[in-house]
Amino acid sequence: MIHDEAFGSPDRRRTMTIAVLVIFAVLMLRLYQLQLLFHVELDKKSEENSVRALIKDPVRGYIYDRYGRLLVDVGPSYSITLVPNEFERRNARLLSSILQVDSSSLEDRINKAKSYSPFLPARIKRDVDMKTLAAIEENLPVLRGISYQIESKRVYPTAARAPHLFGYRREISDAQLTDAGEYYRPGDLVGVAGLEARYEPSLRGQKGFEFVSVNSKGQIIGGFEDGKRDVTAKEGYDLLLGVDGGLQAFAESLMTNYSGAIVAMDPSGGSILAFVSKPDYDPAIMSGVTPADEWAALQTNPEKPLFNRASLTRYPPGSTFKMVLAAAALQEGIIDEHYRIQCTGGFRFGNRVFKDLHVHGSVNIVEAIQKSCNVFFYQLMLKVGFEKWTEYGRRFGFGQSTNTDTGEETTGLLPSVEYYDSRYGKGKWTQGFLISLAIGQGEVGVSPLQMARYAAALANGGIVYRPHAVEYIRNKETSHIEAVPHDSTLIGLSPHVMELIREGMQRVVHAPGGTGALARIPGVNSAGKTGTAENPHGKDHAWYVGFAPYENPKIAIAVLLENSGFGGTKAAPMAGLVMEKYLYGELKRYQPKAVQKTVAGAASMTPR
Amino acid sequence: MVDYLKEYFDFRALLLCLGLVLVGLLSVYSATFDVGAAAAFKKQLVWAGFGLLALFTMAFVPIRTLQRISLPLYIFNLGLLLIVLVIGERVSGSKSWFGLGGASGQPSLGGQPSEFMKVTSVLALAAFLARTSISLTNPKHLLLAVAIVVVPMALILAQPDLGTTIVFFAMLLPVLYWAGAGNFVLAAILAPIIAAAGALFGTLTFLVMLTISGALLYITRQNRFAAAVAFGITLAVGLSVQAVYERLPSYQQKRISTFLNPGSDQKGAGYNVYQSKVAIGSGGFFGKGYLQGTQTQLNFIPEQWTDFIFCVPGEEFGFVGASVVIGLFTGLLLHGIRVAGLSKNKFASAASIGITGVFATHVLINIGMSMGILPVVGIPLPFLSYGGSALVANMAMVGLLMNFYANRKEH
């Protein structure tokens, strides 16, 4: 039997209650001692005892060209940081005068940083010059909560500017900050265009942290826990491009004072070799923080230097599109190489006469491409029909994204029956619309990037590659190099059909009466097609697509010159020069007079 | 109506508990919102919901049912502990977790059987002592009662979790005392603990403590044989403590040695205590304001949201806030003793004391270590520390107290 009288007896209850009260008293006494008696001393310790997590920004990945030449480098840049809770508002005026920012925008910055965290250092100005840095350093004892950190900015060591290809970074926006998760903090730079944007996760690396102890003045007094908690920053991955830096710089120099684009591709694989859009800007302007006035100037410049003409313009392809129709007609068995028509210099359809530039006489498909005979293609369009034309256009990749990795692009526009039905209404459009499409005019719209891919597909026998700038990504820690996968589709043309079209294109350059004679490259057999996009607003735009060498193509190219007239005169020689430079590594020529004029014109022409 | 409700519903326990849970949620939020672990707060909020469910379930289960299922529950819980020992995930060096659907070793909704073991052990011990055939003067019965607590304790020590082990021991003593155990019995249980503690301080202290233990046993002795056996056990425990100490993971060894000599390790284990003291002390009378504590917000105190959560109210709400927390706990403990005294049912009475003992040990050790007057043995502060199983288990225990209060007149 349990001691019933003892179980929960009043004196045991009293003992227990006293025990609890003793616990209470002990804890309260100690609390009183710490918080009231030792308060001043411990509060001072708490103030002295501040640990700062210094963010160590990783070194951003480098960008190399196909021969291992460094195209995009990093250099040092100094940012001023501020801990909102430690910064004393009365110093705001001093700070804004040192940093040369107006006090209201400084106020904004501080508030934004505070809303993120009042205790962590936030950047308030990036990429300051040495003079500013010295002034900050001098005033550090007064400016509590202010510090600086070394970061990196982009440096472009070669003549290849390629701003539209490389892209740029800007300070992360509030919206991105919410979307991008926990990695970014206000003031971080993030890629917003070109490769910098597309490969941001690979390029950026991983931030590190260094914990340091600071005194109440915010001066670093040493490390913290022997660096046990530090996290080293991980370097960003390098991008190894298929781009030829020398070729890029050369193509850019050719385009000086022109408005337009050049895109060159490796027809076996789809690597972009050069990616030029002009007018452009110096990417160094955007390497750190772009001053507001320079940014505004770029945006309001009537020449639109920020606009990526290589992948965002959409112009009619003109006669360069004739190979699409030829492929449809030949592959579908509607005509063969023996089919001929008589070109009388014009074509009557209904009440309208569609003119040709010349009277070509009897021509077959090969000669029609060579001479760019419009009449032949007018008639061919009516035989092939709209639907087949659209289908083959799609097979060549028109009217859809190329899925390039270079950034923004237009899908262009490939008209179809459905498109016209929805645009004009069923039965409200006529076959007359097709006559324009037959020679690449009217509503069809393509980008230079799509045209380069088209040229590459004609060069390699019918493989449509995804155009891409990046071939490999290199993990600097492990030195592991990973190939970026790229898909492709087949057009499905028989070798014979392919041969006929290519023969026509070869004749464009090399046969008498070909429209692209100026694209000839000394010692190399090449092929191409000229085009002129009708421009209702001004002078026509010039196109040239081509590839070389004819037998074993190593480069395919598309050149677009805005407001430059006929494609044969300026676009063709420019394409020839770029291909020659790529194939030989230098210009071999012997420069024909017309080319001399083009190169000379590059220096004298005024931009439009 | 209100009077009727007051008679049968334990508002006092509920309000004390909810007050503590609220302070806990505020503290967990403050300690984690900047570390990128705001998810911790949301999880804790969900757990508090489960806790309320457990509280009200426990408040309304008939006492007789509780008494009947306490042994099966206890055995089932022991089984879970065994499973954890074999397959449990390792969280900060100790196997005590059931990971449920947690990815990459991070238990998302884990459960710690040892937290629930406290509840089931209290119930089992109380049910055992409430049997009419049981007498604490019978050594066999006494050994059984001790075994009910020591078996799960041994399993938890093997995890190894020193803090929870201490809680078990500390719960046993008041329950036996409440149940009417004589002074010798209490001395026999206390003596090995004194000797063991002494052993940690080195040979000389061990000998002094051994002498004190021996004296205690001698004074309270009822027969010489029992006293000799008790002394033998004390000696054996004292000697084996050194061996166990060697087996402890180095972080716990360090915690103990740091407590013994706090100046030795400013940067390591002593660092936590130092920073914790600075945090509480710098709070002053009114505190630095919610979410404004520099120590808390700069994450000086590692894993502050678990064992060192008391720093948050201490720093941010100051003496005023910290006194409220200690006051709430004291209120809950006194209420537990009151319920035990009022209860006509022995099972309910003993269980109330067990629950009070568990809470008291946690509060004393946790707050004591946060303020640097007790060693850092890593046990959470009930209702405040981050941790789902503990919160649910603690709220379930408050539910039991509410139940015992409402049915205090039942035999």
What would the pLDDT profile of A170-197 be if each residue is shown by its tens digit?
888 877 776 766 678 777 889 989 999 9
Distance of CA B251 to CAs B66, B246, B258, B269, B366, Å? Answer: 39, 12, 10, 8, 17
Contacts of A1 in chain B (CB under 8 A): 132, 135
Among A147, A277, A319, A447, which one carries the catalytic annotation?
A319
From A285's Cα to the closest Cα of chain B, the distance in A is 35
pLDDT tens digits, B277-303: 888 888 889 988 887 776 666 555 656
Of A379, A343, A340, A376, give the one whose Cα is nearest residue A360.
A343
Which tokens in the block code for residue A168? 């740029």
- Find chain B residues with C-beta within 8 A of A36's C-beta: 284-285, 319
Give the residue among B26, B202, B54 at the shortest CA–CA distance from B116.
B54
Say if B284 is an interface residue toward chain A (CB within 8 Å).
yes
Mean pLDDT of B352-365: 95
- B5 in any annotated domain: no
pLDDT digits (tens, 9 = 90+) for A335-358: 999 999 998 888 887 777 777 778
Q: Is B34 on the interface with A (CB under 8 A)?
A: yes
Q: Output the pLDDT for position A414.
A: 95
**Is B333 close to A32, i.e. CB distance below 8 A?**
no
Q: For A47-61, A260-274, A341-355, which range has the lowest pLDDT when averaged over its residues?
A: A47-61
pLDDT at B262: 47
**Within-domain flag for B411:** no
Whether the predicted pLDDT of B259 surpasses 80: no
With respect to residue B333, please indicate whether it lies within any of the assigned structural domains. Answer: yes
Please check the confidence at residue B108 and state whether its pLDDT lies above 50: no
Residue A30 contacts B, CB cutoff 8 Å? yes
- pLDDT recorded at residue A452: 97
Q: What tokens were used for A335?
A: 């005509």
Chain A contact for B157 (CB, 8 A cutoff): no
Q: Is residue B318 part of a domain?
A: yes
Contacts of B100 (CB under 8 A, 6+ apart): B107, B108, B109, B110, B111
Question: Does B103 map to a domain?
Answer: no
Alpha-carbon span B400 to A438, nearest angstrom: 88
Strands (E), A352-398: 352-355, 361-363
**Is 80 exceeded by the pLDDT of residue B271?**
no
Domain that holds residue B149: 10-98+109-406
Position A590 pLDDT exceeds 70: no
Residue A44: per-residue pLDDT: 80
Find the range with the poorest average confidence among A193-202, A287-296, A520-529.
Answer: A287-296
- A244 pLDDT higher than 60: yes
Task: Please indicate whether, in this complex, the C-beta atoms of A38 and B281 are within 8 angstroms of each other.
Answer: yes
The answer to whether A564 is a known catalytic residue is: no
Q: Model ipTM?
A: 0.88
**Which residues are CB-contacts of A433 (< 8 A; sequence separation ≥ 6)?**
A415, A420, A442, A443
Task: Report yes or no: A24 at the B interface, CB cutoff 8 Å.
Answer: yes
Mean pLDDT confidence for A438-443: 92
With bands split at pLDDT 50, 70 and 90, how would you rate the model's confidence at A318?
very high
DSSP A284: G
Nearest partner of B66 among B409, B397, B382, judged by Cα: B397
Range scoring the smallest mean pLDDT among A495-509, B130-144, B239-253, B333-347: B239-253
Instruction: Indicate whether B2 belongs to any domain.
Output: no
Q: Using CA atoms, how far apart are residues A528 and B310, in angstroms rounded to an integer?
A: 79
Specify the number of domains making up chain B: 1
Token duo for residue B323: 């006194």
Percent helix / strand / coil, chain B, rounded to 5: 75, 0, 25
CA angle at A114 for the pair A110 and A117, rounded to the nearest 5°: 140
Domains of chain A (ranges; CATH) run: 51-241 (3.90.1310.10), 245-291+314-604 (3.40.710.10)
pLDDT of residue B111: 58
Q: Among residues A455, A593, A459, A457, which one has the least CA distance to residue A520?
A: A593
